[in-house]
Structure 1
Amino acid sequence: MSQQLELRAIVDEELAGARLDQALAALFPDYSRSRIKEWILGECVRLDGELKVKPREKVIGGEEIVLNTVLEDVVEAQAENIDLDIVYEDDDILVINKPINMVVHPGAGNPSGTVLNALLYRYPSISEVPRAGIVHRLDKDTSGLMVVAKTLPAQTHLVEALQKREITREYEAIVTGTMTAGGLVDEPIGRHPTKRTHMAVVATGKPAVTHYRVAEKFRQHTRIRLRLESGRTHQIRVHMAHIGHALLGDQTYGRLRLPKGASEELIAAMRGFQRQALHAVMLRLAHPITGEEMEWHAAVPQDMLDIAEALRVDHKLNPDLG
């Protein structure tokens, strides 16, 4: 469902000489300048009745502003009584620790049982916020921390902070192969040219940067920490596969690689690990309303601890096998 939005204001004399987009950002602080610029370019803004105006146009003060637009993505999904692991909550935001096997947003094949359905039940007013306040997503089988905006001003500021790379997200993962040192992957990501449900490193993709460092080495696997600068779909999974270190358990971008001479116990554990070994372990941001620096941590889930311990035991029992 869409929501019609009409805003009216008179340009304050103190804004004389400012660009139109700057003036509107001051007059309507609930919306980011990038969103306001899109509205101006989309001919949604009238300045003293004039429609064809430009973001850089200077204002003199006293003009009448009329903004008419449509807010998309006002949520139509059904509210469902689903438990959420809430790490932090105030009037503006909440941070949740998403479990594995939970989809963030309804889509084809997953119309219910999602984080969004749960948010609508717990916070009915969040239906008025685009995407029910969801600022960034985690894959179904990726666990960990997510921030959600409870109000439109909070969502606007969080989206802007994410675009400016002012939100820090760190992940823990187990990858195939032995890494000798950390590094970064700076490669664009877009739709796979032939597999439309997959993402890939492609020249025409959007910029994507992933930093990683080694946390622990096993015989033929490595436990790593990663930090995202951007937030492309499947970014960590695609980037790690691109450099030859696909995530353990990734059914889409990797394949099962058993260590030489692996015990029956380890083989069973690895074959039984049916999701990518990826967990959003840390989230740091400036509160969208108060500006306070905040940081949260989520413990690595038991299934990842168990598979890491199985690889650790294997490494101790077979130190000479590569």
Structure 2
Amino acid sequence: MSQHIELNGVVADHQYGQRLDQALAEMFPDYSRSRIKTWIQQEQVQLDGAVVSKPREKVLPGQRVVVTAELEDEVRFEPQAIDLNIVYEDDDILVINKPAGLVVHPGAGTPDGTLLNALLHHCPAIAEVPRAGIVHRLDKDTTGLMVVAKTVPAQTHLVSALQARHITREYEAVAIGHMTAGGTVEANIGRHPTQRIQMAVTPTGKPAVTHYRVMEKFRAHTRLRLRLETGRTHQIRVHMAHLKHPLVGDPVYGGRLKPPRAAEPELLEFLRGFKRQALHAVMLRLEHPITGETMEWHAPIPQDMVDLVEVLRADTQAHPDDLVWI
């Protein structure tokens, strides 16, 4: 079985002179550059109505792109018996609490061992749903709640709800530095101009809105509760780094270690050993895609973040003279 897709877009000003396959990979990030290159070579891409077959062809701003292609059924991925922490399940949806280290979808460098492989094993019929029912993602080392559609109608409704911002997703995080009050970050996010694996705040990116409030203040860190209005790749991590308050442990956007002054060796060792972004999807609220019932789930903070908060709290209590700023 295969799925027919049609993608439409317009070449942006900043893409002037880019290779066609590079420009399309940026325009349609759900699909790999290698897959897009194949589509071009198979003459499934048009520029301003003319079929093109060379991935190296240069593009110009304003050119209209149409991709008409076939996607193989998701069953091409191997079902694998991977444990899932299932928070809720019925005939239409599945809510899981994703652990750190689990990649959501196979890709370059991760051909299997993903959430998608686990879903195919848990629910074989989900192979009939595009992307095995995955409607939103969490980064590999971000933990917490995700909803998966088990049927095509459920997926269609959930995708529409996401686009209409009718699904509420809240996170807990620990950021570097003193944040004295909450606020909102409204800054477009797109691919980093030179680092392909990174995202960045850029005027040419897609609109992105993150709300945050301060939950607890430490000597040199802040515990946050955040709510997404949009769901851009790495959104919270990029927005917090944009505020100069990257998340503890973030290997991409975190920068150098910034411990509090006169920190005890135990705290320094703990911070150096915290190798993932301190970010957890703690709450998910949505209307059931079929019944319309409002549903809400909560996932407890994982142990590594509990330990992080405890060591930062202990450090803060041990240095009361440094709390003037609070």
Q: TM-score, normalised by structure 2?
A: 0.77
C-alpha distance after superposition, 1:151-201 (max 9, x if no partner): 000000000000000000000000000111000000000000111110000
The CA distance in 1 between the partners of 2:73 and 2:273, in whole Å, is 40
The CA distance in 2 between the partners of 1:299 and 1:184, in whole Å, is 25
User: Would the aligned equivalents of 1:73 and 1:130 in 2 still touch at CA under 8 Å?
Assistant: no
Q: CA deviation at 1:2?
A: 2.4
Q: Is 1:122 paired with 2:122? A: yes
Q: CA deviation at 1:3?
A: 2.9
The CA distance in 2 between the partners of 1:291 and 1:98, in whole Å, is 25
Q: Aligned letter for 1:230?
A: T
C-alpha distance after superposition, 1:251-293 (max 9, x if no partner): 1001211110100110111111000000000000000000000
Aligned residue for 1:190?
190
The CA distance in 2 between the partners of 1:186 and 1:257, in whole Å, is 26
The CA distance in 1 between the partners of 2:253 and 2:73, in whole Å, is 33
The CA distance in 2 between the partners of 1:257 and 1:319, in whole Å, is 19
Aligned residue for 1:92?
92
The CA distance in 2 between the partners of 1:199 and 1:214, in whole Å, is 25
* Over 4 Å off, 4+ runs: none
Cα gap change, 1:77/1:191 in structure 2, threshold over 3 Å: closer, same or farther? same
The CA distance in 2 between the partners of 1:168 and 1:73, in whole Å, is 32
C-alpha distance after superposition, 1:18-77 (max 9, x if no partner): xxxxxxxxxxxxxxxxxxxxxxxxxxxxxxxxxxxxxxxxxxxxxxxxxxx977463121
- Which runs of structure 2 are paired with 1:1-322 in the superposition (5 Å)? 2-3=2-3, 72=71, 74-75=73-74, 76-255=76-255, 256-321=257-322
Percent sequence identity is: 69
Q: CA deviation at 1:4?
A: 5.6
User: Would the aligned equivalents of 1:73 and 1:131 in 2 still touch at CA under 8 Å?
Assistant: no
Give ranges in structure 2 of 5+ residues lacking alignment. 6-67
The CA distance in 2 between the partners of 1:77 and 1:290, in whole Å, is 31
The CA distance in 1 between the partners of 2:166 and 2:72, in whole Å, is 24
The CA distance in 2 between the partners of 1:185 and 1:199, in whole Å, is 15
Query: Over the residues paired in the alignment, what is the CA RMSD in angstroms?
Result: 1.4
The CA distance in 2 between the partners of 1:4 and 1:140, in whole Å, is 29
Q: Aligned letter for 1:119?
A: L
The CA distance in 1 between the partners of 2:229 and 2:242, in whole Å, is 17
SS in 1 for 2:247: coil
C-alpha distance after superposition, 1:223-268 (max 9, x if no partner): 0000000000000000000011100000100121111010011011
Cα gap change, 1:250/1:185 in structure 2, threshold over 3 Å: closer, same or farther? same
Q: TM-score, normalised by structure 1?
A: 0.78
C-alpha distance after superposition, 1:197-216 (max 9, x if no partner): 10000000000000000000
User: Would the aligned equivalents of 1:219 and 1:319 in 2 still touch at CA under 8 Å?
Assistant: no
Give ranges in structure 1 of 5+ residues lacking alignment. 6-68
SS in 1 for 2:245: coil
Q: Aligned letter for 2:292?
A: G
